[in-house]
Amino acid sequence: MTEFVIHGGRKLKGSIAVQGSKNGALPLLAAALLVCGEVVIENCPQLSDVDCALDILTYLGCKAGRSGNSVAVDCTGMCAHDIPERLMKRMRSSVVFLGAILARAGCAEMTMPGGCMLGPRPIDYHLDALRALGAEIAAEGERLLCRADSLRGCDLFLPFPSVGTTENAMLAASAAQGTTRIMNAAREPEILDLAGFLNAIGIPVRGAGTTVIEVEGGCRTHGARYTVATDRIAAGTYLCAAAACGGTVEITNARPEHMAALTNALRHAGCDILEKLGYMRLTAPSHIAPVGIVETRPYPGYATDMQPPLMALMCTAEGTSVFIENIFESRYNHMEQLRRMGADIQSEGRFAAVHGVARLTGAPVTAPDLRAGAALVTAALGAYGRTEISHIDHLERGYERMDETLRRLGADVIRREQ
């Protein structure tokens, strides 16, 4: 088991460039299956979830290799259409391979995906969208057997702007005959990356970033090179960490236009934030103010992935903040761990009230999931004394060399194997 040992209380100060987006890169690796030829994905973060996607591609018979942050994939030799359970369970994003494998091979077999434990995470919207495009899907216990002799473009209305469903629908629609219109589509920046990549390989996609996306299917695809956007959640986590420590941090490759809901909340907390094209700088106030009510919503609302780090920051605000988690049923796994550090948080269902205390105190804690781990790092950096955070493997699914990045900013963080 790997852990972080953090001695808190040091102000973060300095300049960083943030990794490429995890949730942006993963669907592109699935989309590589639509091409017989090489695609190169630049700014692809070095994370265990990305390694899992590369392992799935290799299992399917594709060539996949990395040189630094550039990943080259050639799916010409794809020779399997199933994904074994051991790969499916490693991450949630394995489910976007369903649309891509169906599009490429006309059949797919897999089990239910894994991923962070955030309450029930069904895939009914995904399956309904694929069925509407012409797939026949049978579920045998945990196993899914899918066939699509021919996929047909159609109008799809999503019951909720689900990110993964929008991605799966876009991927399957790429091989469908005719045009597919996805209504009530997710508008997250990661959808823009997938649309940009599909356009680059020869599949016309219009409307990404709005609630209606049109995909023209059945076009001939070709190799391409595509650069993934900066990870808005990683960038936001470093800003929260800087705010918790009372420091000044600049991000030299930020996409502030993707982070408006977070910067709005951080400004409410008293942070001074300078935004320019591709740049952000945060200077923390001497005392953090409470943010009032924060409700998580689909983009452009406040991101559920940024709820845990902001909650950690609010633990030492001068007053009470209220969180309402609307996206996942059980995304307060960090709360119990924050309480071990002295946080005063009450919760009932989707609601959590955080009463700021003067200071958190270091303690041994466990990262229960990826973003909950980010909350614990944020809290530990601002806390008095030493915090040991175990189960860092969760964090390493989404943050590239987080300890190195934080040390560059002056934090006292050690990563060690136990």
User: Considering 44, 62, 75, 116, which one is annotated as catalytic?
Assistant: 116
304 binds ligand EPU (CB under 6 A): yes
349 binds ligand EPU (CB under 6 A): no
- Give the burial class of 160: count Cβ atoms within 10 A of its Cβ; 0-12 exposed, 13-18 middle, 19 or more buried: exposed
Helix 22-31 vs helix 48-59: crossing angle, to nearest 10: 10
The 3-state DSSP class for residue 16 equals: strand
| Segment lying near ligand EPU (by CB under 6 A), choices 115-123, 133-141, 282-290, 308-316 | 115-123
Residue 107 is a catalytic residue: no
Task: Pick from 92, 187, 232, 334 the residue near ligand EPU by CB under 6 A.
Answer: 92
Nearest to 341 by CA among 321, 357, 358, 361: 361
Q: Collapsing DSSP states into helix, strand and coil, what is residue 207?
A: coil
Give the interface segment with ligand EPU, choosing from 51-59, 156-164, 222-230, 259-267 (CB under 6 A): 156-164
**C-alpha to C-alpha distance for 396 and 418, rounded to whole angstroms:** 16
For residue 205, give Cα distances in angstroms to 191, 200, 256, 365: 11, 10, 24, 45
Among 10, 104, 126, 232, the residue binding ligand EPU under the rule CB under 6 A is: 126
Cα–Cα distances in Å, from 12 out to 8, 198, 240, 284, 407?
Answer: 10, 39, 11, 10, 9
- 93 is a contact residue toward ligand EPU (CB under 6 A): yes
Answer for which of 7, 63, 89, 121 binds ligand EPU (CB under 6 A) is: 121
368 binds ligand EPU (CB under 6 A): no
* Residue 202: CB atoms within 10 Å: 15
By Cβ distance, which residue is nearest to ligand EPU?
A: 164
Query: Applying CB under 6 A, which of residues 123, 306, 367, 413 lies at the interface with ligand EPU?
Result: 123
Q: Does 155 bind ligand EPU (CB under 6 A)?
A: no
CA atoms within 13 A on the CB side of 104: 28
Tell me the site size for ligand EPU, rule CB under 6 A: 25
Closest CB to ligand EPU among 76 and 160?
A: 160
CB 74 within 8 A of CB 51: no
x-marked contacts with ligand EPU along 374-413 as a string, rule CB under 6 A: ------------------------x---------------
If binding is defined by CB under 6 A, does position 116 make contact with ligand EPU? yes
Q: Kindly give the pairing relationship between strand 248-251 and strand 279-283.
A: antiparallel
- Residue 274, classified by CB atoms within 10 Å of its CB into exposed (0-12), middle (13-18) or buried (19+), is exposed
Q: Binding string to ligand EPU for residues 164 to 203, with x set by CB under 6 A, is what?
A: xx----------------------x---------------
Catalytic residue list: 116
**Binding residues vs ligand EPU (CB under 6 A):** 23, 26, 92-93, 116, 120-126, 160, 162-165, 188, 304-305, 327-328, 370-371, 398
